[in-house]
């Protein structure tokens, strides 16, 4: 048994009769653990841990379920996602376009006049049984009178005619900088918005929609936190985002932190908002806050992922790689120099190796004057980074946060650059071999899904949402390796590896109990895992099935017409008539029955098989 020095102190909570993965190579699995004051007090066998039981100790029998450390998404847009979660119809995990469109039709009927139906990221056409996007005609038929906005990756948005009218896009509307409004032969907008060469038109159009009032934004954020808890997420690093201004758009998480109502620990980076005024943004923020300022639940993590707009190597694999402007080096050097001089860690969005080479030229120049190798900086994404540039990152003390964006865009990358080039997008195995810090995440919510188990499946299987095998065995990870990136690896990027990522004595008691054994289920079923009990700081924040008694009180959904009130989040529940059809459908002879197995009610199979 391993325990803190005060062995006599009774535990607040004991979990026993489980298979607990500690992430400690010396003691990788234990049967039980004790929690006191929000920390792991002891780990070991059932008989050893029972010694920490006192008259007030709560004891939970895990029933031999698998427990893992709480998952930590190193690149999540939680703050922005929380403000909008209750407004969004999620197609994440929906297995067919026909079901997605039916959800859209029903939500359009439920949405009051003046409000929109939004489907904002987290899905791919290749996840659908039909393997195609919806058509504009289908959107107009599904919602003739209610504005509909559907975001597809970074490349395009689809608007129905009601949305075009609500926004005011007409034949007289000029294409904005960086975007294109598709038009018919008469010059009228069709409803298709194209990101050429960047996504500003998509996000600027989305920003024109109605917002939730503050009370509803608080409710929305709490529901998004609970949704993440359902999927085992207990920590994240928030990467900021466009139209996410500091401090205005942070007042909701500020308030929830003051109330002690956060159920996901958030380390946030500040994302500049004003082109050509980036240095002024950071100089102003340096007078307001500092890295590490805050609590164990809500703290500043430095700058990024946007440092200067000229360094944004926007990735849309349907389009050629963008060339960054010649002004980038000077602008980036000014900002990084300011950050380094003030000991601010930073992160930088970096997709293409060509861009990364130029970024590293700047960082090496700054480093000669003001060292950055102890700042705790890292690149985000790095899908096409070369071995040489990995070496340069290592020499500067940097790391790389990787996300499963290729699970959603892999088919497009292969079409443009070929299957061989896609085999190392990103070269995670090589990064680990070269010893640089690596953390895992999703980049949710506007492109990839926020489901960490979908990302873990991608790391282990190397497959896209559509089932395309991208990576050879040499660039795939074991389940243990993938889990370490999603826990210990991510904790390092917020300077908290000594506090979380492992279920060992003295670390935060953040953990999740799984629906099935992550380490032994068939590979294809990893993506279907969920938590049945999530604990943060020693307190249950989500519980279901045999642990239902531990679940916090239910929270109503505001507004009542919210898509969340009807459909929930990832893997939206089937509608009643679909459930009836599934119950009477004949057995599927072609596929293994897994958690995502479905029939279409007509004798056909709608298995969502990756």
Average pLDDT of the segment spanning 427-435? 98
**Which of 62-66, 132-136, 605-609 has the lowest average pLDDT?**
605-609
Question: Any residues with CB less than 8 A from the CB of 455 and at least 6 apart, and which?
Answer: 403, 404, 407, 440, 441, 442, 448, 486
Q: Which residues contact 173 (CB under 8 A, 6 or more apart)?
A: 181, 189
pLDDT, tens digit, 9 for 90 and up, residues 327-353: 999 999 999 999 999 999 999 999 999
CA–CA distances in Å: residue 131 to residues 125, 291, 589: 5, 45, 22
- What is the residue whose two structure tokens read 């500040």? 270
Residue 128 pLDDT class (50, 70, 90 cuts): very high
In this prediction the pTM is 0.93
Q: What is the mean pLDDT of the chain?
A: 92
If one compares 149 and 315, the residue with the highest pLDDT of the two is 149
Length of the chain: 610
How large is the average pLDDT for residues 105-127? 97
DSSP 115-129: --EEEESS--GGGST
DSSP state string for 174-222 = PPPTT-EEEE-TTS-EEEEEE-SS-THHHHHHHTTS----HHHHHHHHH
* Closest CA relative to residue 87, chosen from 116, 108, 113: 116
Instruction: State the burial class of residue 368 (Cβ atoms within 10 Å of its Cβ: 0-12, 13-18, 19+).
Output: exposed
Q: Is the pLDDT of residue 542 over 50?
A: yes
CA distance 342 to 340: 5
Residues forming beta bridges with residue 118, ordered by sequence position? 88, 149
Summarised one tens digit per residue, pLDDT across range 131-190 is 999 999 999 999 999 999 999 998 999 999 999 999 999 999 999 988 999 999 999 999
Least confident of 60-64, 177-181, 553-557: 177-181
Average pLDDT over residues 397-408: 98
Burial zone of 28 (CB within 10 Å; 0-12 exposed, 13-18 middle, 19+ buried): exposed
**Residue 583, SS3 per DSSP:** helix
Whether the per-residue pLDDT at 599 is higher than 50: the answer is no
pLDDT reported for residue 154: 85
pLDDT for position 196:
85
For the ranges 91-105, 169-183, 307-321, 477-491, which has the lowest average pLDDT? 307-321
- Give 41-50 pLDDT, tens digit per residue: 999 999 999 9
Round to whole Å and give the CA distance between 62 and 49: 14
pLDDT grade for 586, boundaries at 50, 70 and 90: very low
Q: DSSP letters along 292-328, please?
A: T-B-SSEEEEEE-S-S-GGG-----TTSPPPPPPTTH
The answer for residues whose C-beta is within 8 angstroms of residue 337's C-beta and 6 or more apart is 366, 369, 370
Q: Are 68 and 512 in contact (CB under 8 A)?
A: yes
* Residue spans of alpha helices (H) in 462-536: 479-484, 490-492
Distance of alpha carbon 158 from alpha carbon 211, whole angstroms? 19
pLDDT confidence band for 574 (50 / 70 / 90): low
What average pLDDT does the segment 59-76 reach? 98
Pick 86 or 3 by higher pLDDT: 86
CB crowding 329-343: b at 16 or more within 10 Å, else e:
bebbbbbbbbbbeee
- Rounded to an integer, what is the distance from CA 529 to the centroid of its chain? 16
Average pLDDT score over residue span 517-535: 98
* Cα Rg of the chain (Å, integer): 24
- What's the pLDDT at 8? 56
pLDDT the model gives residue 319: 84
Tell me if 534 sits within 8 A of 234, measured CB to CB.
Answer: yes
Closest CA to 325 of 154, 156, 198: 198
Q: Give the chain's domains with CATH numbers.
A: 71-502 (3.20.20.140)
| pLDDT beyond 60 at 587 | no
Q: What does DSSP say about strands 156-159 and 148-152: parallel, antiparallel, or unpaired?
A: antiparallel
Greater pLDDT, 405 or 602 = 405
């Amino acid at each position: 048994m391993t325990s803190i020095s005060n062995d006599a102190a009774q535990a607040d909570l004991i979990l026993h009769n489980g298979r607990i993965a500690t992430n400690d190579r010396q003691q990788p699995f234990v049967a039980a653990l004790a929690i006191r004051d929000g920390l792991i007090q002891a780990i070991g066998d059932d008989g050893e841990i029972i010694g920490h039981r006192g008259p007030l100790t709560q004891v939970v029998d895990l029933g031999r379920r698998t427990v893992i450390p709480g998952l930590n998404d190193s690149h999540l847009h939680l703050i922005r996602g929380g403000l909008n979660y209750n407004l969004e119809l999620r197609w994440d995990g929906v297995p067919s376009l026909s079901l997605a469109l039916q959800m859209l039709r029903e939500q359009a009927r439920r949405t009051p006049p003046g409000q929109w139906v939004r489907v904002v990221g987290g899905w791919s056409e290749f996840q659908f049984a039909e393997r195609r996007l919806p058509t504009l005609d289908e959107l107009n038929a599904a919602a003739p009178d209610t504005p509909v906005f559907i975001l597809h990756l970074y490349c395009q948005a689809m608007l129905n005619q009601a949305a075009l009218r609500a926004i005011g896009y007409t034949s007289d509307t000029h294409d904005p900088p960086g975007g294109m409004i598709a038009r018919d032969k008469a010059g009228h907008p069709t409803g298709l918005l194209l990101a050429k060469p960047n996504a500003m038109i998509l996000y600027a159009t989305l920003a024109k929609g109605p917002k939730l009032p503050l009370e509803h934004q608080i409710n929305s954020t709490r529901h998004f936190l609970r949704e993440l808890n359902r999927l085992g997420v207990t920590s994240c690093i928030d990467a900021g985002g466009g139209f996410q201004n500091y401090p205005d758009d942070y007042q909701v998480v500020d308030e929830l932190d003051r109330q002690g109502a956060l159920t996901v620990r958030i380390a946030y980076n500040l994302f500049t908002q004003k082109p050509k005024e980036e240095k002024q943004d950071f100089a102003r923020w340096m007078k307001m806050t500092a890295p590490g300022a805050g609590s164990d639940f809500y703290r500043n993590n430095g700058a990024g992922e946007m440092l200067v707009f000229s360094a944004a190597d926007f990735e849309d694999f349907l389009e050629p790689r963008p060339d960054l402007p010649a002004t980038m080096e000077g602008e980036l050097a000014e900002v990084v120099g300011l950050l380094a001089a003030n000991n601010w860690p930073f992160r930088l969005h970096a997709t293409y190796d060509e861009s990364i080479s130029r970024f590293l030229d700047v960082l090496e120049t700054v480093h000669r004057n003001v060292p950055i190798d102890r700042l705790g900086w890292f690149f985000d994404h790095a899908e096409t980074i070369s071995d040489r540039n990995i070496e340069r990152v290592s020499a500067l003390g940097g790391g790389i946060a990787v996300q499963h964006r290729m699970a959603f865009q892999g088919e497009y990358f292969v079409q443009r650059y070929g299957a061989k080039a896609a085999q190392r997008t990103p070269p995670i195995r090589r990064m680990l071999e070269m010893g640089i810090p690596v953390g895992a995440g999703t980049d949710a919510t506007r492109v990839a899904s926020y489901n960490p188990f979908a990302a873990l499946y991608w790391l282990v299987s190397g497959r896209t949402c559509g089932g395309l095998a991208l990576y050879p065995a040499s660039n795939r990870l074991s389940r243990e390796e993938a889990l370490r990136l999603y826990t210990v690896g991510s904790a390092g990027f917020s300077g908290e590896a000594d506090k979380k990522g492992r279920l060992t004595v003295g670390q935060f008691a953040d953990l999740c109990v799984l629906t099935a054994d992550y380490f032994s289920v068939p590979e294809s079923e990893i993506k279907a895992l969920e938590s049945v009990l999530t604990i943060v700081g020693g307190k249950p924040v989500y519980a279901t099935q045999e642990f239902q008694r531990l679940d916090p009180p239910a929270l109503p959904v505001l507004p009542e017409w919210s898509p969340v009130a009807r459909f929930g989040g990832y893997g939206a529940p089937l509608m009643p008539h679909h459930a009836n059809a599934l119950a009477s459908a004949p057995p599927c002879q072609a596929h293994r029955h897994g958690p995502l197995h479905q029939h279409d009610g007509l004798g056909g199979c709608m298995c969502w098989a990756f």
